[in-house]
């Protein structure tokens, strides 16, 4: 069976890792004969936004790089679609796996379904209910073109049922690791299947945290050893594309951190926006270049709180018991709010009161194993 994975943006490289490791394990231990083809769309292209992640996490280098970075949304999406079409025609995979909600995700999914290749969507069923976000449109379209919908939580499976999907495994409960499928459960394109696999980012964290603790030197490098600091990340279009929105974020950061040290690894989009809009953060905000995954985990573990508009960081903060304020009006990761670890800045003028308990709502760290099990149930495409 040939499985083609398409990635392009920073978090997608990380999400691919557990599936690649699980594939190698199956081939080694069960003679599974799975062929794994990795396509990088090139959406992220700077060394520390792309190659650094491959080097640090030991991810295999892509088999293809489509060079679709640094373009306008429509051009980027169209380029991913056209170039993926060429790759899929050449490789003829049995399934295409896409991740999350980026322009790379939608471009690859459209290319695959137009060639009648089934799509498996990792991180299905998430919604912000804000159609001004490019990511929201990408999520909706990709879910509705997918054959396998891998949901990170039970609430995501419920959302897909609300949108008319009918086949949900085990009422959206976390799939049992020894689940036995009958022939009737075989999955086909006109019968998409929703499965709560748990969140693949939890697999990654379990895998990477110990390595990060032994390999990252960022806390010492930035002399943060005994210092109380807040971690800040901003990159969403809704916060960066308009001067007023970016100024509002900068003012909020100043108010909520009251002069305490803030470390901000700055995304290139945000750096460009600050320059364009003439926005400056307070003098307590230390701006650094984008950091590696290990460094990010260590900053998050040591920070007293995190201010972010990233989806991944909200969950990582939750798992690490670091209080989080999300710099958005809404979030897809509602469980982090419900459990009291996260608040939205539109509604919060203070940090959440960190509760002791972190509920296990995003699976058990074995999402990739479940996903591979399901991928192998797909009928051969060729
Ligand atoms: C994209 C995703 C977002 C995801 C994020 C992860 C979409 C619509 N958005 O946002 O959902 O959370 O990735 O980081 O797909 N740039 C560089 N160097 C790079 C990468 C980007 O300079 O290596 C510049 C681009 O040229 C562009 C800007 O940053 O000017 C934005 O990049 P882009 O990939 O379009 O979107 P992100 O903001 O990264």
**Predicted local confidence at residue 145, as pLDDT:** 97
Distance 239 CA to ligand 1 centre (A): 13
Q: Give the closest residue (by CA) to ligand 1 atom 18.
A: 46
Two domains, one topology: 2-199+363-375 and 213-344 = yes
- Written as six digits, the tokens of 347 are 């509604």
How far is it, in rounded angstroms, from Cα 209 to Cα 19? 17
Residue whose pair of structure tokens reads 């995700």 in the numeric block: 105
Catalytic pick among 5, 44, 235, 267: 235
Distance 193 CA to ligand 1 centre (A): 30
- Which residues pair with residue 120 across a beta bridge? 97, 148
Q: What is the pLDDT of residues 265-315, one digit of tens each?
A: 999 999 999 999 999 999 999 999 999 999 999 999 999 999 999 999 999
**Predicted local confidence at residue 356, as pLDDT:** 78
**Predicted local confidence at residue 316, as pLDDT:** 95
Residue spans of the domains in the chain: they are 2-199+363-375, 213-344
As a whole-number percent, the residues of the chain with pLDDT over 70 amount to 99
Q: Specify the CATH number of the domain 213-344.
A: 3.40.50.2000
**Predicted local confidence at residue 183, as pLDDT:** 63
Q: What is the pLDDT of residues 152-188, one digit of tens each?
A: 999 999 999 999 999 999 999 999 999 887 765 667 7
Domain 2-199+363-375 has CATH 3.40.50.2000: yes
Cβ 10 under 6 angstroms from ligand 1: yes
DSSP code for 314: H
**Predicted local confidence at residue 185, as pLDDT:** 60
235 part of the active site: yes
- Ligand 1 atom at minimal distance to the Cα of residue 48: 23
Distance 236 CA to ligand 1 centre (A): 9
Distance 134 CA to ligand 1 centre (A): 12
The pLDDT of 102-128, averaged and rounded, is 98
- Ligand 1 atom at minimal distance to the Cα of residue 49: 23
Q: What is the pLDDT of residues 28-75, one digit of tens each?
A: 999 889 999 999 999 999 999 999 999 999 999 999 999 999 999 999
How far is it, in rounded angstroms, from Cα 29 to Cα 8? 30
DSSP character string of 38-69 = EEE--SS-SGGGTHHHHHHHTPPPPSEE----
**Predicted local confidence at residue 382, as pLDDT:** 61
Cβ 67 under 6 angstroms from ligand 1: no
Q: Give the closest residue (by CA) to ligand 1 atom 36.
A: 269
**Predicted local confidence at residue 346, as pLDDT:** 84
DSSP code for 152: S
**Predicted local confidence at residue 347, as pLDDT:** 86
Q: What is the pLDDT of residues 89-113, one digit of tens each?
A: 999 999 999 999 999 999 999 999 9
Cβ 252 under 6 angstroms from ligand 1: no
Cβ 239 under 6 angstroms from ligand 1: no
**Predicted local confidence at residue 246, as pLDDT:** 98
Q: What is the pLDDT of residues 318-371, one digit of tens each?
A: 999 999 999 999 999 999 999 999 999 988 889 998 777 788 999 999 999 999
For the chain, where are the alpha helices, taking DSSP H only? Answer: 10-30, 51-57, 73-91, 103-114, 134-143, 154-162, 200-215, 218-221, 237-240, 243-257, 268-277, 293-302, 311-320, 334-338, 367-375
Q: What is the pLDDT of residues 178-236, one digit of tens each?
A: 988 776 566 777 789 999 999 999 999 989 999 999 999 999 999 999 899 999 999 99
**Predicted local confidence at residue 95, as pLDDT:** 97
């Amino acid at each position: 069976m040939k499985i083609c994975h398409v990635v392009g943006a920073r978090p997608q490289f990380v999400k691919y890792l557990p599936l690649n490791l699980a594939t190698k394990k199956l081939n080694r231990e069960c003679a599974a004969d799975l062929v794994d083809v990795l396509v990088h769309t090139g959406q992220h292209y700077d060394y520390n936004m792309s190659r650094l992640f491959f080097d640090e996490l030991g991810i295999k280098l892509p088999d293809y790089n489509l060079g679709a970075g640094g373009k306008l949304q429509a051009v980027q999406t169209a380029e991913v679609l056209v170039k993926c079409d060429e790759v899929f025609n050449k490789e003829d995979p049995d399934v295409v796996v896409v991740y999350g909600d980026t322009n790379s995700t939608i471009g690859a999914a459209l290319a695959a379904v137009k060639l009648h290749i089934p799509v498996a969507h990792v991180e299905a069923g998430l919604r912000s209910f804000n159609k001004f976000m490019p990511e929201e449109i990408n999520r909706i379209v990709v879910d509705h073109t997918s054959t396998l919908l891998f949901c990170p939580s039970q609430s995501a499976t419920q959302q897909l049922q609300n949108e008319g999907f009918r086949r949900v495994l085990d009422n959206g409960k976390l799939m049992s690791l020894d689940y036995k499928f009958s022939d009737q459960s075989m999955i086909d394109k006109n019968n998409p299947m929703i499965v709560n696999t748990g969140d693949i980012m939890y697999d990654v964290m379990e895998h990477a945290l110990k390595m990060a603790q032994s390999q990252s030197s960022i806390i010492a490098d930035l002399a943060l050893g005994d210092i109380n600091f807040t971690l800040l990340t901003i990159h969403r279009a809704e916060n960066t594309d308009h001067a007023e929105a970016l100024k509002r974020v900068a003012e909020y950061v100043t108010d909520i951190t009251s002069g305490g040290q803030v470390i901000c690894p700055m995304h290139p989009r945000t750096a460009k926006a600050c320059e364009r809009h003439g926005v400056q953060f307070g003098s307590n905000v230390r701006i650094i270049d984008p950091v590696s995954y290990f460094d990010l985990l260590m900053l998050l573990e040591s920070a007293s709180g995190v201010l972010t508009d990233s989806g991944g960081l909200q969950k990582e903060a939750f798992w690490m018991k670091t209080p989080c304020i999300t710099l958005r009006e809404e979030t897809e990761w509602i469980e982090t709010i419900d459990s009291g670890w996260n608040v939205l800045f539109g509604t919060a003028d203070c940090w959440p009161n960190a509760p002791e308990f972190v509920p296990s709502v995003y699976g058990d760290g074995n999402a990739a194993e479940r996903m591979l099990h399901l991928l192998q149930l797909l009928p051969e495409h060729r």
